[in-house]
Structure 1
């Protein structure tokens, strides 16, 4: 056990050493792409009708007249101090905007993955149990179809069906506009429970239900296929046959051996999906007007807000890299067979 823990520790240290290099490459690419993109942030702030004196004053204030290499080194130096600057459009610290928006994305991501598991696992088990039958083909078709549907199209379809036709769900937003939100952690469901506010809990779940179930349904195909394939391979393995020969019941083999081994790849999928949803569900959050970090990124791009775009991309990159590291360590701990 100690030898395995030493291997995990060495592997983790290697991964941690690679993180700064990956983040430097990402941050440099973001800096370059934003500078070569068309448009001027001064126009986004002052408008195209501003006079030259105002435009020049703002450019000097923002440091846009500095040589590009000076801007780059100043940019990297600030990142090392976790100083992402101020938003060009709101003059609010970028880190504050990110930290206020992140809980909404993480909450949506968590409940979406939970929905995906609750939908995808039963479909995978049904398909495996009825291999080659009609129910298996139906489960496989559903798994492929949900994975193939673009998230923004699925979001609009869900809004049209459940918010417009049946009128059983709000069309967007995270909470009623004219109602006071509980403010403790930023996670509305958790905050409602902690503050013992039943009305707020009901409203937050009411607004969360449609986007999380819709996104969960679209992600469920990954879980369906992964569980079906991995569990099928596990049940055909030699150690399962050996356990059957020793008289161990199929139920115990399934629960104690086959299912845990089949779930290991799904741990990886869940972790990486959660990380990507924190900043990658851009069009989905825009469609549902969900005030998460992806919606803030969309607004920042539209307003040519360099500092906010840079901050969001770098912060979400840190999040994704960190979660990827945690998932790798967790898998290495759960499966001692993994070699490094």
Structure 2
């Protein structure tokens, strides 16, 4: 196992190098001059030229790229072209907000998806199965920028049950330590603030969870139905073992392998989905930071955000591969 993990990490190095190159080329292809965007109305040819020299934007692209790789090797993600603050500070100050939203969305999506998939697999062709299929198609086909405003209008503007933007009511006066607001509010013993944070989480988390829920539900249904037809399941049932025990010890344990793969893949969908979700709901996380960086042509912030997302995606998929050996002892690396 250690040899396999080491090999996967080594293989990930050229992948990350490819990501840095693609991100570098991508941000340079964006229209507009970052120096002119920084200066705004004060931009003159002289000031733009001076700023390009000070930021190293006047050098050849290959020199800029290798300089960027050199800083990465030293653990330096660069500085924001707009605020001059270290990218590491800008990114990780907002990272907890994105993690909080993504974890809640993934928990909702996986829990609801597995539940619906198991129910549909037990009665294929039933109304439950048809409803699950319709809900899955809805989750896959309706984009976040459509579903989000609909939920905001129904539950926020019309019914007025839930807040439609932000992370917490600023009037509550909470001291933020870690930026994980659920933890910060509980740590200060403020149950009113904790419930307010949960209320702000509901709509964006549900919006972001629809795609994972749909994919997990469909895969769970297919996997459970296929596993239920195996000989060892019929043998267990013929021995008089209860359906619940057969379901827990034989069906779901083996059905989890393809489901866990889908869950790992959905992390990538969550990372991309947070960019839109945070923009729609005014969520002050990494997604909204990336959108602002693209609008401002903040090269270093865009590049580093893409790189961190790629590292997270690779680590999650490595964890999924390792979990195979836990779920199925026959698998060895």
Tell me the SS of whatever aligns to 1:47.
helix
Partners in 2 of 1:233 and 1:282 — Cα distance?
Answer: 36
- Picking from 251, 271, 281, the partner of 1:258 is 251
Matches within 5 A, 1:126-165: 126-165=119-158
- Displacement of 1:337: 2.9
- Displacement of 1:60: 1.2
- Displacement of 1:218: 4.2
Q: Give the alignment's TM-score, normalised by structure 1.
A: 0.92
Q: Give the alignment's TM-score, normalised by structure 2.
A: 0.94
Q: Is 1:53 the counterpart of 2:42 in the alignment?
A: no
Matches within 5 A, 1:204-223: 204-223=197-216
Q: Is 1:123 the counterpart of 2:121 in the alignment?
A: no
Partners in 2 of 1:143 and 1:225 — Cα distance?
Answer: 7
| Residue deviations 1:306-336 (CA, integer Å, cap 9, x gap) | 1111111111111111121122112233223
| Residue deviations 1:244-280 (CA, integer Å, cap 9, x gap) | 2333222211111111222233223333323542354
Using a 3 Å threshold, how does the CA distance of structure 1 residues 68 and 143 change in structure 2: closer, same or farther? Answer: closer
| Residue deviations 1:187-242 (CA, integer Å, cap 9, x gap) | 11122222222122112111111111232244321121111111111111111122
Q: Is 1:32 the counterpart of 2:25 in the alignment?
A: yes
Matches within 5 A, 1:1-340: 8-47=1-40, 49-338=42-331, 340=333
- Displacement of 1:62: 0.2
Say if 1:151 and 1:283, in contact at 8 Å, map to a contact too: yes
Partners in 1 of 2:62 and 2:154 — Cα distance?
Answer: 52
- Displacement of 1:79: 1.2
| Comparing 121-130 and 84-93, the one that deviates more | 121-130
Return 5+ residue gaps in structure 1 as ranges. 1-7
Say if 1:128 and 1:136, in contact at 8 Å, map to a contact too: yes
Using a 3 Å threshold, how does the CA distance of structure 1 residues 279 and 128 change in structure 2: closer, same or farther? Answer: closer
Query: CA RMSD for the aligned pairs?
Result: 1.8
| Comparing 175-184 and 317-326, the one that deviates more | 175-184
